[in-house]
């Protein structure tokens, strides 16, 4: 069975220059191990292709049951330099939550 991430987790996002930071938190801490197994840096990079042009680094935050993804070259040069409307990372957290995983 597949689920979209928004069914089991929520996401917070931030941006620093051209770097997007996404933090993924399961609604139920028992799903943390599932997220660790299924939501890899490579899968996030593939899911966000066309948005994230640089590397994706995943950090595990087990004390708060979260995954953090640092996505380089993701904001069209950065919020203050981009001509795109709304390149802030906050809107891109919803893009990550559309990712499907096998459960």
Question: pLDDT tens, 47-83?
Answer: 999 989 999 999 999 999 999 999 999 886 666 555 4
pLDDT, one tens digit per residue, over 7-55 is 999 999 988 888 999 999 999 999 999 999 999 999 999 999 998 999 9
pTM, 2 dp: 0.87
**Any idea which fold 8-98 has?**
Gyrase A; domain 2 (3.30.1360)
The predicted pLDDT at position 17 comes to 82
State how far the Cα of 5 lies from the Cα of 85, in Å rounded to an integer: 26
**What is the spatial order of strands in the sheet that 56-61 belongs to?**
9-16, 19-26, 66-71, 56-61
Per the CB < 8 A criterion, the answer to whether 9 and 24 are in contact is yes
State how far the Cα of 19 lies from the Cα of 70, in Å rounded to an integer: 7
State how far the Cα of 19 lies from the Cα of 14, in Å rounded to an integer: 8
Residue identified by tokens 């809107």 is 91
State how far the Cα of 24 lies from the Cα of 20, in Å rounded to an integer: 13
């Amino acid at each position: 069975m597949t689920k979209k991430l928004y069914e089991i987790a929520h996401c917070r996002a931030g941006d620093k220059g051209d770097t997007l930071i996404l933090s993924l938190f399961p609604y139920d801490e028992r799903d943390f191990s599932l997220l660790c197994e299924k939501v890899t840096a490579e899968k996030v990079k593939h899911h966000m292709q066309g948005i994230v042009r640089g590397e994706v680094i995943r950090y595990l935050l087990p004390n708060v049951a979260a995954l953090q993804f640092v996505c380089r070259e993701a904001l069209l040069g950065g919020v203050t330099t981009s001509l795109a409307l709304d390149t802030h990372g906050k809107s891109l957290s919803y893009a990550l939550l559309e990712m499907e995983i096998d459960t």
